[in-house]
Structure 1
Amino acid sequence: MQIGPIALENRLFVAPMAGVTDRPFRTLCRALGAGYAVSEMVTSRKDLWKTLKTSRRADHTGEPGPISVQIAGTDAAMMAEAAHYNIDRGAQIIDINMGCPAKKVCNKWAGSALMRDEPLALAIVQAVVAAAAPHGVPVTLKMRTGWSEDHRNAVKLARDFEAAGIQMLTVHGRTREQGYKGAAEYDTIAAVKAAVRVPVVANGDITSPEKARDVLAATGADAVMIGRAAQGRPWIFREIAHFLDHGTHRAPPRVAEVRRLLLDHLQEHYALYGEFSGVRTARKHIGWYVRDLPGGEAFRSQMNGIEDCALQLRAVGDYFDVLAATTQRMPAGNAAAAGAQGEEEDEEAASAAH
């Protein structure tokens, strides 16, 4: 599969999730079988580019390519400038956010709210494509099926976006009104796939190898994008890849392997965020890993009282050492993903509107 001239390793993608898919997490998912990962959304507000949050999001040091950066905003010229800014910092693909349902984003008419203003949505696409084209950088876009049950316009917009130069479309199978409630539907994604020639990616409720297979079959999509199900279970990508290739389930990872993966992830996390923020922002990742493990709830509570990276790292190592003494492998299935959080409302991305 390709995005414009860029070849991808496979058709299993990591979804952009604010507060989750930072560089350490994206790199981990890529190492565990994901063929492509999109960054957290970066604001188009120039006055916020020098903030610590945006500088971290625009840091791709050591990240395997292709590097894809998602941008968010409501002003076409500013979105074009944001594309230039991120291309200068290593972005090889620019992704436009028209899928985020967070109120703080949509209340500013950014994210999926743009689907209510089709002329503005198209103007943004045209501006970003024009900005990226001289650099040879393809532009992709993520959207929902529509704003509401009565306003499903993904097919029409998909045609318009393709005509404007978008080179891949990702569709989450819910409206903005739904948020993350109810079940994702895939008929609209299938209709989008039938309406355009560019690659189409299916997103929403893909939590198991069987679900990935079924969604690919039902939609005809070129790839699947996984978000919440990868939280605390980043090896889901290699599990799906194995199932799609062989029709059998790969054994769950050994506890000892997960211990090593998590400890390495935490050290990369601390290096990016520093001591004060690192120990705090790591708590959610640790919580997702241990959520449905023996003593996991008590351990999560213990984590909230640790404010030192070294102590946190040691506590995690000790927890998994105890677990490995009684359990050789992690539990099969996706129980840990069931309670994972979706895209977090992001103050900085929400401020992208003007």
Structure 2
Amino acid sequence: MVKIGNIELEDFPLLLAPMEDVSDPPFRAVCKENGADLMYTEFISSEGLIRDAAKSVQKLDIFEYEHPIGIQLFGSDIETMRTCGEIATNAKPDLIDINYGCPVKQVACRGAGAALLQDIPKMVAMTRAVIESTHLPVTVKTRLGWDESTKNIEDVAERLQDIGIKALTVHGRTRVQMYKGDADWRLIAKIKENPRINIPIFGNGDIDSPEKALEYKERYGVDGIMIGRASIGYPWIFNEIKHFLKTGEHLPEPTIEDRINVCRKHLDFSIRWKGNHSGIVEMRRHYSNYFKGLDHFKPFRMKLVTSPDYQEITDILQEVAVFYSQEVLV
């Protein structure tokens, strides 16, 4: 069993990463149904919460079936983050996570996300402020360092544990790397091997198959793994990894019917949560991923991403079902 404060998770839990414009309630719903053990909201701007910006406030939405779930915050001002810790606590998540890993310019160049890897004392002070603002467990997600010359994650892990964080997730790249190259988990393993470290350590980066999950579990000794991009359009990866870790065998790949059913659930929830127009428009980014690898899918995708009508979209999905069922028969 893995414990994050008072949260109990099964051995070697699989975490759904907080991904901007992806990890919203509709997406989290299909991931939870397919085996995600702990999920996080999209990262939420502390400045947006303070201004009561509609988009930031909406990201606080949590549904009962999602627990355990964490709200992830990012920001550059310590007192603003303290206040947002209080606001996030009132949304009744199970934990609060702080983002010190986002590498995109809009975040890092404003002194938030991975930018704090260049100012560890400020990172420590900000983390302490959030911890003081809530009774919930506080966790952190970060990277190895800002660049190759400042891979300071081992020191960061000790200092953050010492002030009271309850778990640490490390993405195996620097900020400068963005998402390029292979993730390097060797420093993550060193944190786990450190006898001073007693909080759960989760690894993140490049886990895209059951085989790799098993390999990294055994090689690096982490307490669990966080999965991000590999789950987009493929929420089945969580149960596939769990089954492989237990049995050494693969679950059958999702059928065309499985893909359509999950895509429909995602679409329906998207519309219920965001409204008809936004729900349809924001779902468009997901179709290519749900049907990735299917030959001759491009004409269907073009229709799906241009249709403004729910009934028309469901009719197109039915066309997809018929077309690929016939292909299998042939």
The TM-score, its normalising length taken from structure 2, stands at 0.94
> For 1:248 and 1:85, how far apart are their aligned partners in 2?
44
> For 1:242 and 1:124, how far apart are their aligned partners in 2?
39
- Partner AA of 2:308 in structure 1: E
Deviates more, 1:290-299 or 1:123-132: 290-299
Output aligned runs, 1:131-146, within 5 Å: 131-132=133-134, 135=135, 137-146=136-145
Deviates more, 1:1-10 or 1:36-45: 1-10
The 1:83–1:313 alpha-carbon spacing in structure 2 relative to 1, beyond 3 Å, is: farther
Q: Does the aligned pair in 1 maintain the 2:145–2:151 contact within 8 Å?
A: yes
1:301 — aligned with what?
A: 302
If asked which structure has higher relative contact order (CA below 8 Å, sep 6+), I would say 1
1:15-70 deviation per Cα after TM superposition (whole angstroms, max 9, x unaligned): 11000000111121111011111110111115665333123211113442012100
> For 1:9 and 1:37, how far apart are their aligned partners in 2?
14
The 1:326–1:46 alpha-carbon spacing in structure 2 relative to 1, beyond 3 Å, is: closer
The 1:324–1:239 alpha-carbon spacing in structure 2 relative to 1, beyond 3 Å, is: same
**Superposition deviation, residue 71 in structure 1:** 0.3
1:335 — aligned with what?
A: none
**Superposition deviation, residue 9 in structure 1:** 4.2
**Unpaired segments of 5 or more residues in structure 2?**
none
Matched, 1:22 2:21: no
Output aligned runs, 1:249-260, within 5 Å: 249-260=250-261
**Superposition deviation, residue 5 in structure 1:** 0.8
1:249-272 deviation per Cα after TM superposition (whole angstroms, max 9, x unaligned): 111122222221211111001111
The 1:277–1:148 alpha-carbon spacing in structure 2 relative to 1, beyond 3 Å, is: same
2:272 — aligned with what?
A: 271
1:162-211 deviation per Cα after TM superposition (whole angstroms, max 9, x unaligned): 00101000000000000000010110111121232100001000000010
Output aligned runs, 1:241-256, within 5 Å: 241-256=242-257
Structure 1 consecutive aligned stretches of length 4 or more whose deviation exceeds 4 Å: 46-49
Q: Does the aligned pair in 2 maintain the 1:41–1:71 contact within 8 Å?
A: yes
2:193 — aligned with what?
A: 194
Partner SS, residue 23 of structure 2: coil
2:53 — aligned with what?
A: 51
Q: CA RMSD in A?
A: 1.5
2:180 — aligned with what?
A: 181
Matched, 1:235 2:236: yes
> For 1:265 and 1:280, how far apart are their aligned partners in 2?
13
Q: Does the aligned pair in 1 maintain the 2:50–2:84 contact within 8 Å?
A: no
1:35 — aligned with what?
A: 37
The 1:156–1:241 alpha-carbon spacing in structure 2 relative to 1, beyond 3 Å, is: same
2:68 — aligned with what?
A: 66
1:341 — aligned with what?
A: none
The 1:252–1:69 alpha-carbon spacing in structure 2 relative to 1, beyond 3 Å, is: same
Q: Does the aligned pair in 1 maintain the 2:42–2:72 contact within 8 Å?
A: yes
- Partner AA of 2:158 in structure 1: R
Q: Does the aligned pair in 2 maintain the 1:255–1:327 contact within 8 Å?
A: no
2:87 — aligned with what?
A: 85
Q: Does the aligned pair in 2 maintain the 1:40–1:57 contact within 8 Å?
A: yes
2:155 — aligned with what?
A: 156
1:217 — aligned with what?
A: 218
**Superposition deviation, residue 81 in structure 1:** 1.1
Partner SS, residue 81 of structure 1: helix
Deviates more, 1:83-92 or 1:196-205: 83-92
> For 1:226 and 1:127, how far apart are their aligned partners in 2?
28
2:100 — aligned with what?
A: 98
- Partner AA of 1:40 in structure 2: E
**Superposition deviation, residue 109 in structure 1:** 1.2
- Partner AA of 1:119 in structure 2: P
**Match for residue 123 of structure 1 among 122, 125, 149:** 125
The 1:223–1:280 alpha-carbon spacing in structure 2 relative to 1, beyond 3 Å, is: same
